[in-house]
Structure 1
Amino acid sequence: MTEKTLEKTTARDSKALVTTEGRTTIADTVVAKIAGIAAREVNGVHALGGTASRAVGALRERIPGSTTNHGQGISVEVGEKQAAVDVQLVAEYGVGIADLAAGIRRNVIGSIERMTGLEVTEVNIEVQDVHVPSEDKDEPQERRVQ
């Protein structure tokens, strides 16, 4: 391959989105969905989004025929050549948050750049809560009155 061919095939090279044959634009929702799926793939992520968005998402999933919102907890800014991503999440208890954040950044950046050709300038991560497995158990509460 020539040097020019190598330049055109790199994931970080957005020239593939603008060619002499036309321009390719990628919607924010597409980048958000890619980022959401990539973030969920990382071990230690319990859920994406804050309390309110998770509650709305849970209600939405109960509606027959509805689909999962893969972009929940993700906000993006997409330009012609670059994208920036913000991720809100709930981490599993016991997971090193710095390691979790590094894994999420690596996976989100790799997925977006590989699939879109956009350069990801930053991935900001906000850990809003820690999930404790004992919170999920539906233990019967002792009745106070009979």
Structure 2
Amino acid sequence: MAATETLASTPSTSKSSSNRHQSIAGKVVIADTVVATIAGIATREVEGVHAMGGGATRAMGAVRDRVARSADHTRGVRVEVGEKQAAIDLDVVVVYGTEIAGAASGIRSHVSDAVERMTGLEVVEVNVNVRDVHVPGEETDEDEEEVRVR
């Protein structure tokens, strides 16, 4: 379900182009994937977050990212978006040594702020599911970047 916001305004008496946008009524529709992308990017910005998604999701995502040559910012993110509110579930992998409760609090705050600021939706819930701990120095397929030329 996508969020919809209806914008209504009173007709403008000015005919200048700078005021013209004030007289146009319409609606803004925010797709679920937009909210998921914002939440995914904001989560990755929090210190202590190594990756997003569960084990199988990360493995499949790493393959998909290599084929598409781009990152899937929505991996590990599920959202429910209504007309005025959003609820977000996040699956994360934290770096070993990270204080998990503090990281989860930081994730909730940062994601909520980003989604509310960018979409105008009220974020009613951000659930953080810690799926794994990454130990630095232990490389996985998703950590290895494809190097074509050395």
With the length of structure 2 as denominator, give the TM-score of the two structures. 0.77
Q: Distance in 2 between matches of 1:66 and 1:80?
A: 34
Q: Distance in 2 between matches of 1:80 and 1:104?
A: 23
1:93 aligned to which of 96, 99, 115 = 96
How far residue 93 of structure 1 moved from its aligned partner, in angstroms, is 0.6
8 Å CA contact 1:17–1:117 kept in 2: the answer is: no
Q: Which residue number in structure 1 is paired with residue 106 of structure 2? A: 103
Q: Distance in 2 between matches of 1:119 and 1:18?
A: 16
2:119 aligned to which of 94, 116, 119 = 116
Which has the bigger relative contact order, CA under 8 A and spacing at least 6? 1
With the length of structure 1 as denominator, give the TM-score of the two structures. 0.79
Q: Distance in 1 between matches of 2:92 and 2:32?
A: 19
Q: Which residue number in structure 2 is paired with residue 126 of structure 1? A: 129
Work out the number of aligned pairs and report it: 122
Q: Which runs of 5+ in 1 are unaligned?
A: 1-13, 138-146
Q: Which residue number in structure 1 is paired with residue 75 of structure 2? A: 72
RMSD: 1.7
Are 1:23 and 2:11 matched, yes or no? no
Secondary structure of the residue aligned to 1:37 is helix
How far residue 61 of structure 1 moved from its aligned partner, in angstroms, is 1.7
Between the aligned residues of both structures, percent identity stands at: 57
Larger helix percent:
1
How far residue 86 of structure 1 moved from its aligned partner, in angstroms, is 0.1
List, as ranges, runs of 4+ consecutive aligned residues in structure 1 with deviation greater than 3 Å: none
